[in-house]
Amino acid sequence: NAGVTQTPKFQVLKTGQSMTLQCAQDMNHNSMYWYRQDPGMGLRLIYYSASEGTTDKGEVPNGYNVSRLNKREFSLRLESAAPSQTSVYFCASSEAVVQGTDTQYFGPGTRLTVL
Amino acid sequence: AQSVTQLGSHVSVSEGALVLLRCNYSSSVPPYLFWYVQYPNQGLQLLLKYTTGATLVKGINGFEAEFKKSETSFHLTKPSAHMSDAAEYFCAVSDRGFQKLVFGTGTRLLVSP
């Protein structure tokens, strides 16, 4: 079991460039999440997908789009990167059997720098 | 809306000393509460969680936390720190019926020999 995998591990972009962060889980989980982690701010939810075919905005969705490609995969797209999007991005998944109680399992993160 | 406050961005202890990391929550309904740990250059992993039942919750690596409704607190403790406990610790809350977690800003634990 690989758990939650993310690609790439590191990325440097120029302002205005676009890119897609990939996330996949092999635990047959229903729910998936994208967070960003910034120093002194903890983790903030960007988007989540409660189940295959649904996506919803989190706390900081501006400048991002997501796609729940299938039950395993949940991608995050930056259409026009800005320096404010420099951050570490984490994908997570949970089984979602009883809402609110689930353990979320995290990937290793993608460190993104926007110049 | 629910929120959590972690007092102290950094906590330093000596190896063998008591570890106490503080977390207070704000929620309009009895919450579900979590502690996650992040080792350097890794993702987060669950230490322990409170959902229902016993208010003293035991987790991995000798950590435990007690849910105190009257104090709106969920502090994390470990009787004796090890060097391997050096990491960043995050408290998180979710409202009953929702999937989303709200994280605190984190506390970095430093353990000296």
CA distance B108 to A97: 32
**pLDDT tens, A51-104?**
888 999 999 999 999 999 899 999 999 999 999 999 999 999 998 766 778 899
CA distance B71 to B107: 20
CB contact under 8 A, B46 and A104: yes
Per DSSP, the three-state class of A18 is coil
Residue of B91, B97, B113 whose CA lies nearest to B28: B97
Residue of B101, B89, B90 whose CA lies nearest to B32: B101
Q: Is B28 on the interface with A (CB under 8 A)?
A: no
Lowest mean pLDDT among A63-72, A89-98, B50-59, B96-105: B96-105
Q: Using CB atoms, pick whichever of B32, B46, B90 lies closest to residue A42.
A: B90
Greater confidence (A112 vs A41) lies with A112
**pLDDT tens, A100-109?**
788 999 999 9
CA distance B93 to B86: 23
CA distance B29 to A64: 31
